[in-house]
Structure 1
Amino acid sequence: MDALSAAAFGVVLAATAGLRAFLPVFSASLFAWMTDLPLPDNLAWLERAQTVLIFGVATLLEILGDKIPIVDHALDGIQVLTKPVLAALAATPFIYQLAPEQSVAIGILLGAPLALGVHSAKATARLGSTATTAGVGNPLLSIAEDVAAVAAIVVGFLAPLLALLLMAVTIFFIVRLALRVRRRRRAAGSARS
């Protein structure tokens, strides 16, 4: 993977952290473990088998927990803090291929806001689903998020620049959906007043 493709893949991983916090870090760790991806010294632990296992288990627990309506809201609340950090962690090894000296700073400045933006839009859509379906639609929405996250990572690995373009389009539609849900909630609140 050339440096530009690696950086694009890092950005895709960061945005994907907005949907699933641990999946992108698990993917980055798995990629580092399976390949000869050069890592900064402070991230050499990412390529250890134990790290891959820990992030794999965390990914599985997050995916399963997100299917339970009460747990999904608790995860969304906690992950407001963790997703930006995990996004930066997932992106940094790949951005390192393009800009070694600034990789951590770029990972934090780019990855964290991307993940937080995607997470905010997703959480807003999830609240709308809870309000309109009494939580019954949340597991289906969660499965759609799983599929989108895995697809983004697979496409990001195979065609990073295409994945970056698709990610931008997806983020646009997620934000649009979140704004629509917000407008409906405000309109419903105004109608009750």
Structure 2
Amino acid sequence: MELTLNILIGIGLAATCGFRIFIPLLVMGMANKVGYLELSQGFAWIGSYPALVIFGIATVVEIAAYFIPFVDNLLNTISVPFSIVAGIVVTAAVITDISPILKWTLAIIAGGGAASVTSLISNGAHNTSTFFSAGIANPIVSVGETVISVIIAVLSILVPIVVVILIIIMMVLVYRMIRRFKERKLKHMKLD
């Protein structure tokens, strides 16, 4: 049962990496520091004070960068591989007491997969926002992603099963919303 919960925690945190890379690492480190989250061997550094300071600074810089029009789209594009790596790391960090080959296989498939899906959703949301508003609405998208990242990261540790269900629902809703926006825009373009 504990292994299943740890995998769900890892998937939730990894999905958060697709929106913001450093928020889940910061939340995970703080949860470890207060004794709420056990990290697997070799990942205790995530809960160290130096790491928490670095994650805190990196989080502030990352959030601020997403408020600069067009820089946010560039950041989204280059962050995809980094978010996948972060998703793999956070998943591996919480999976304890299993063989390394199984742990890394789960981390790569589940963690990397969850991070890549949410990263692509984030890219789609920013690109759609840029297309329809010339980037003016991107800060609103960025605020939404930041708030979602914090909520999902915290809930991933507190109630991981709920987060996995919420992530699935969120992915379906975002996909539908993006598709609807694109259909409307194409319809308006045909009318003009």
Relative to the length of structure 2, the TM-score reads 0.87
Offset of 1:34 from its aligned partner? 2.6
What residue ranges of structure 2 are gaps of 5+ in the alignment?
none
Matched, 1:37 2:38: yes
Supply the distance in 1 between the matched residues of 2:40 and 2:158 (Cα, whole angstroms): 20
C-alpha contact 1:16 1:153 (8 A) present in aligned 2: yes
Matched, 1:81 2:75: no
Offset of 1:105 from its aligned partner? 2.2
Offset of 1:50 from its aligned partner? 0.7
3-state SS of paired residue (1:69): coil
Equivalent residue number for residue 24 of structure 1: 24
Supply the distance in 2 between the matched residues of 1:157 and 1:78 (Cα, whole angstroms): 27
Supply the distance in 2 between the matched residues of 1:177 and 1:96 (Cα, whole angstroms): 38
Equivalent residue number for residue 104 of structure 1: 104
Offset of 1:10 from its aligned partner? 1.1
Supply the distance in 2 between the matched residues of 1:76 and 1:62 (Cα, whole angstroms): 11
**How large is the Cα RMSD of the aligned pairs?**
2.4
Identity of aligned residues (%): 26
Offset of 1:23 from its aligned partner? 0.9
Equivalent residue number for residue 164 of structure 1: 164
> What per-residue deviation string (whole Å, max 9, x for no partner) do you get for residues 116-168 of structure 1?
11111221121111111121111011111111111112222221111111111
Supply the distance in 2 between the matched residues of 1:15 and 1:39 (Cα, whole angstroms): 19
Question: 102-111 or 12-21: which moved more?
Answer: 102-111
Offset of 1:64 from its aligned partner? 1.1
C-alpha contact 2:14 2:87 (8 A) present in aligned 1: yes
C-alpha contact 1:24 1:87 (8 A) present in aligned 2: no
Supply the distance in 1 between the matched residues of 2:51 and 2:168 (Cα, whole angstroms): 30
C-alpha contact 1:23 1:55 (8 A) present in aligned 2: yes
Give 1:107's aligned amino acid: A
Supply the distance in 1 between the matched residues of 2:178 and 2:112 (Cα, whole angstroms): 19
C-alpha contact 2:21 2:86 (8 A) present in aligned 1: yes
Supply the distance in 2 between the matched residues of 1:85 and 1:161 (Cα, whole angstroms): 23
Label 1:87 to 1:24 Cα distance change in 2 as closer, same or farther (>3 A). same
3-state SS of paired residue (1:5): helix
3-state SS of paired residue (1:152): helix
3-state SS of paired residue (2:70): helix
Matched, 1:178 2:182: no
